[in-house]
Structure 1
């Protein structure tokens, strides 16, 4: 189902459709993309505050271009 299609409302007391565990690069990226697509997303991470420096040492080449394309 895409964000353009109508989704049924969430049950009473539920405020999220998707839960992502882990706020590293993949979890943060997934939460961002899904949120932009209109989903109610909750991101859970073991740290209460995001580190000042977000280090990802394995991004290069075509991965950088893919990240640019999704904004």
Structure 2
């Protein structure tokens, strides 16, 4: 089961970081449920962009540099 947040979705290379409300780009929660011998088990994985405001110039390099925007707000945004 995969649950994707619709608040800050977009293509992977063009939507990055978090918005001022703390919603990160391309947030997905994936849950695997297994049942065996009457027992049920669940494993949850969460992924998304780094939880602070940042930008990155899209180019063809393997590891392009990124820049943190408004670092003074980073803690508040990440808390969300």
- Shorter-normalised TM range: under 0.3
Identify the structure with the greater helix proportion.
Answer: 1
Q: Normalised by the size of structure 1, how large is the TM-score?
A: 0.22
Identify the structure with the greater strand proportion.
Answer: 2
Q: Normalised by the size of structure 2, how large is the TM-score?
A: 0.20
Q: Which structure is larger by alpha-carbon Rg, 1 or 2? A: 2
